């Protein structure tokens, strides 16, 4: 049996709860002054084939293994005594993890096979780090609940013990939901049909290493390492002794050999930055202009400075997006870039992976055998985060900043050359960002556009379906607040296909991010794609979760719900993670710090309703303040289309 499980360790109370991964059947074992079910728990654990948890490799499995390995000693203690011993073990385990020390028991040495969803999803990465409570919010879980009893408090009544049991059961159930998402069994568009655990099983079979609890980047990195060790016939120890080269280099050192500009302005710009030293730990940005569009060049990528606007091509115009396919991997291939301390063998392995991935994609298309899909996915991980991403990671065996910036800075030069060529041909590039451009031109110029792009592909080496050639999409509408915040609508086989980017327009969010007030992005999509009036959309939308926002407080910060009772101000401290929406009646939420600092949520007279526990009822009974959402939506629309500000006030007056 494989179960989803969770432990709670208070100073005088230990709880183990698990849930069959195929049902909602709970197994509950308690060690406390009320009960001592230690031996029953050991008997139960012996029947398990595997356990699934959240951050269980670093915590739950460590305490559990300690409990398993000391049966002879622990069976002599009372429940209260053993609970105290396990609490001390839990505290030392947490302290060890906080110091980023290795756990006492390695994965391979654990009695029961573990699957740690926290590690699989890379939530131990600083940029993505979230806890289960935040996932409960992002998954629209029915009950977002913090631990009801502080871990340092005594569980001295049966009522407290039962509260903890119910809390732990809720955690197991929400972890099961997260497990189902991990298996692709979800309606969430970003994850539907993508089975992360099956992928890891297939990779283990094909590449002969256990990556069950590896995140995607680590899988790619390990595949690269295995290939490199085979190619060079060295050991892992010898590889550790290889050191990256840290030296000074200029922007010009990163330019491709074929770098050539025609206009005086761009030649002056390139000559001006060519001898500037690349600084690894400081921001470096350089503005320039081509035609009517202003750009910013930095170490990591090129982008235009775009103001809020709506662009709809006329019947005689084309609004075309052109992206470089697999830009960074193909730059590495065509310019023969590699970490200098690893030598040309690294590049040979890298280009070999590119070809193997193409072969696997072809075989999957022909045979539909999922094995080939897994192989090509594994090689994709190796090419992206597992290779290029590691060039700039100081702790990585692949670290070489010069190689990294030859890729990123060289890619900007490539893009700038395309922009200049189009400009000289009379074609207006209206937006650019890292690996692509958007152009607006007359249909009579299409042949010229294609000719210029083809010549550029030949010059730069992006000249083939397997070499990063340009990939095109024509838009019928492009609405943006900035270069990284927009919605574009392309027509594919007669159907509108929206492309979203940025906080204002994204409707499908990664789980570690924040989907607060998702209704705003949904209404904007309906407005720009289907011309649906925002007010009409809002008042006919029936999913209360889309009106909600999420908040988590960190450190000493806490959330106060402020209300009035007979003109007296009442402040009620809330839990650390909360879900809420804006309502006509309710409380006012304020983030507070013991030092006196306060930050009011949704500044103004807006009121909130805390909605941590979902209650099914007609949408009208939630008392939603629709004006708040209408105002937010029209503020964005009026930034993009200032001419319709009068309609904004008309819509508000209807409430």
d(CA 177, CA 179): 5
Can you say whether the dihedral through the CA atoms of 252, 254, 256, 261 is positive or negative?
Answer: negative
Domains plus CATH for the chain?
2-190 (3.30.420), 197-241+342-399 (no CATH), 252-329+404-507 (3.90.1600), 527-653 (no CATH)
Q: At what angle do helices 626-640 and 518-530 cross, to 10 degrees?
A: 50
Contact 339, 346 (CB under 8 A): yes
Q: Is the pLDDT of residue 653 over 70?
A: no
Of 349, 569, 510, 311, give the one whose Cα is nearest residue 430: 311
Contact 224, 383 (CB under 8 A): no
Q: If you write DSSP's letter for every residue of 262-316 in order, what string do you get? A: -SHHHHHHHHHHHTSBPPTTS--EEEEEETTEEEEEESS-EEE-PPSEEE---TT
Q: Is the pLDDT of residue 645 over 90?
A: no
The stretch 263-276 carries a mean pLDDT of 95
Better-scored residue on pLDDT, 355 or 335: 335
The torsion angles phi and psi of 472, rounded to 5 degrees, stand at -110, 150
Three-class SS of 19-32:
EECCCCCEEEEEEC
Share of the chain above pLDDT 70, in %: 98
Predicted local confidence at residue 385, as pLDDT = 74
Residue range 342-391, pLDDT digits in tens:
999 999 998 888 888 888 888 888 888 877 888 888 888 888 777 888 99
Contact 307, 316 (CB under 8 A): no
- If you compute the radius of gyration of the chain from its CA atoms, what whole number of angstroms results? 28
- Structure-block tokens of residue 491: 């027509």
d(CA 20, CA 25): 6
Predicted local confidence at residue 382, as pLDDT = 84
Predicted local confidence at residue 650, as pLDDT = 62
Angle at 139 between CA 137 and CA 140, to 5 degrees: 65
The torsion angles phi and psi of 564, rounded to 5 degrees, stand at -120, 145
At a CB cut-off of 8 Å and minimum separation 6, what does 314 contact?
Answer: none
Q: Is the pLDDT of residue 654 over 60?
A: no
Residue range 563-576, pLDDT digits in tens:
877 667 889 999 99
Of 533, 632, 639, 631, give the one whose Cα is nearest residue 309: 639
Predicted local confidence at residue 655, as pLDDT = 46
Average pLDDT of the chain, as a whole number? 93
Residue range 114-149, pLDDT digits in tens:
999 999 999 998 889 999 999 999 999 999 999 999
Better-scored residue on pLDDT, 246 or 607: 607
Residue range 476-512, pLDDT digits in tens:
999 999 999 999 999 888 899 999 999 999 999 999 9
d(CA 444, CA 332): 36
At a CB cut-off of 8 Å and minimum separation 6, what does 517 contact?
Answer: 547, 548, 549, 629, 632
Q: Poorest-confidence range of 161-165, 262-266, 384-388? A: 384-388
The stretch 22-38 carries a mean pLDDT of 94
- Structure-block tokens of residue 98: 């906080």
Q: Is the pLDDT of residue 209 over 80?
A: yes
Q: Poorest-confidence range of 3-7, 467-471, 593-597? A: 467-471
End-to-end Cα spacing for the chain: 56
Q: Is the pLDDT of residue 602 over 70?
A: yes
Q: Is the pLDDT of residue 154 over 80?
A: yes
d(CA 20, CA 317): 59
The stretch 429-438 carries a mean pLDDT of 95
Count the residues in the chain. Answer: 655
At a CB cut-off of 8 Å and minimum separation 6, what does 86 contact?
Answer: 9, 14, 31, 63, 66, 67
Predicted local confidence at residue 618, as pLDDT = 96
Please enumerate, as own/partner, the contacts of 260-263 that have beta carbons within 8 Å and a separation of 24 or more: 260/417, 261/416, 261/417, 261/420, 262/420, 262/424, 263/290, 263/420, 263/423, 263/424
d(CA 322, CA 431): 11
d(CA 89, CA 73): 15
Better-scored residue on pLDDT, 629 or 207: 629
Predicted local confidence at residue 365, as pLDDT = 85
d(CA 10, CA 12): 6
The torsion angles phi and psi of 485, rounded to 5 degrees, stand at -145, 95
Helix (H, G, I), strand (E, B) or coil at 589: strand
d(CA 544, CA 614): 9
Query: For the purposes of burial, counting CB atoms within 10 Å of the CB of 181, is it exposed (0-12), middle (13-18) or buried (19 or more)?
Result: buried
Share of the chain above pLDDT 90, in %: 79
Of 635, 290, 251, give the one whose Cα is nearest residue 429: 290
Residue range 37-82, pLDDT digits in tens:
999 999 999 999 999 999 999 999 999 999 999 999 999 999 999 9
d(CA 399, CA 339): 7
- Structure-block tokens of residue 156: 């001295």
Provide the strand spans (E) within 546-585: 549-552, 558-565, 568-573, 577-583
Of 170, 135, 214, 146, give the one whose Cα is nearest residue 6: 170
Q: Is the pLDDT of residue 652 over 60?
A: no
């Amino acid at each position: 049996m494989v179960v989803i499980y969770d432990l709670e360790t208070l100073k005088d109370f230990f709880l183990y709860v698990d849930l069959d991964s195929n049902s909602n059947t709970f197994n509950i074992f308690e060690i406390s002054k009320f009960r001592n079910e230690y031996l029953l728990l050991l008997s139960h654990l012996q029947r398990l084939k595997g356990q699934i948890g959240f951050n269980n490799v670093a915590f739950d499995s460590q305490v559990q293994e300690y409990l398993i390995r000391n049966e002879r000693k622990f069976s002599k203690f009372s429940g209260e005594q053993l609970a105290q011993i396990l609490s001390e073990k839990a505290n030392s385990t947490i302290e060890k993890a906080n110091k980023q020390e290795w756990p006492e028991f390695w994965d391979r040495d654990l009695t029961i096979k573990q699957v740690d969803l926290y590690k699989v999803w890379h939530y131990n990465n600083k940029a993505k780090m979230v806890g289960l409570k935040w996932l409960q919010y992002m998954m629209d879980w029915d009950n977002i609940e913090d631990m009801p009893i502080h871990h340092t408090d005594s569980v001295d009544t049966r009522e407290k013990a039962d509260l903890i049991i119910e809390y732990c059961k809720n955690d197991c159930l929400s972890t099961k939901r997260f497990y189902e998402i991990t298996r692709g069994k979800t309606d969430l568009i970003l994850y539907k049909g993508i089975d992360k655990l099956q992928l890891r099983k297939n990779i283990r079979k094909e590449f002969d290493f256990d990556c069950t609890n590896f995140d995607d980047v680590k899988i790619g990195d390990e595949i690269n390492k295995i290939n490199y060790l085979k190619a060079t016939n060295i050991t892992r120890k010898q590889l550790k002794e290889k050191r990256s080269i840290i030296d000074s280099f200029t922007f010009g050192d990163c330019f491709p050999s074929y770098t050539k500009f025609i206009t005086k302005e761009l030649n002056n710009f390139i000559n001006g930055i060519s001898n500037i030293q690349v600084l690894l730990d400081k921001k470096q940005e350089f503005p320039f202009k081509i035609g009517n569009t202003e750009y910013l060049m930095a170490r990591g990528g090129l982008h235009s400075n775009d103001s809020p606007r709506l662009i709809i091509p006329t019947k005689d115009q084309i609004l075309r997006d052109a992206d470089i396919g697999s830009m960074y991997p193909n730059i590495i291939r065509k310019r023969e870039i590699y970490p200098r301390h690893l030598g040309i063998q690294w590049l040979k392995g890298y280009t070999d992976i590119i070809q193997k991935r193409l072969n696997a994609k072809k075989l999957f298309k022909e045979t539909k055998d999922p094995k080939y899909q897994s192989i090509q996915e594994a090689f994709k991980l190796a090419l992206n985060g597992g290779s290029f991403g590691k060039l700039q990671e100081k702790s990585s065996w692949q670290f070489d900043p010069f190689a990294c910036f030859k890729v990123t800075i060289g890619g900007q030069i490539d893009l700038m050359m395309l922009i200049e060529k189009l400009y000289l041909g009379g074609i207006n590039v209206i937006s650019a960002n890292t690996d692509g451009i958007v152009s607006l031109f007359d249909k009579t110029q299409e042949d010229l556009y294609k000719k210029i792009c083809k010549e550029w592909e030949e010059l730069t080496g992006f000249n083939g379906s397997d070499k990063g050639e340009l990939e095109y999409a024509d838009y019928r509408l492009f609405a943006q607040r900035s270069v990284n915040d927009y919605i574009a609508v392309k027509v594919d086989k007669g159907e509108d296909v929206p492309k979203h980017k940025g906080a204002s327009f994204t409707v499908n969010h990664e789980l570690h991010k924040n989907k607060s007030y998702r209704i705003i992005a949904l209404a904007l999509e309906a407005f720009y794609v289907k011309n649906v009036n925002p007010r009409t959309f809002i008042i006919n939308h029936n999913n209360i979760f889309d009106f909600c926002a999420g908040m988590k407080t960190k450190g000493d910060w806490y959330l106060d719900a402020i209300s009035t009772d007979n003109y007296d101000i009442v402040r009620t401290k809330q839990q650390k993670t909360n879900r809420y929406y804006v309502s006509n009646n309710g409380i006012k939420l304020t983030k507070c710090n013991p030092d006196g600092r306060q930050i009011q949520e949704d500044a103004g007279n807006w009121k909130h309703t805390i909605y941590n526990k979902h209650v099914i009822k007609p949408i009208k009974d939630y008392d939603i303040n629709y004006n708040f959402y209408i105002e937010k939506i029209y503020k964005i629309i009026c930034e993009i289309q200032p001419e319709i500000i009068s309609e904004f006030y008309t819509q508000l007056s209807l409430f």
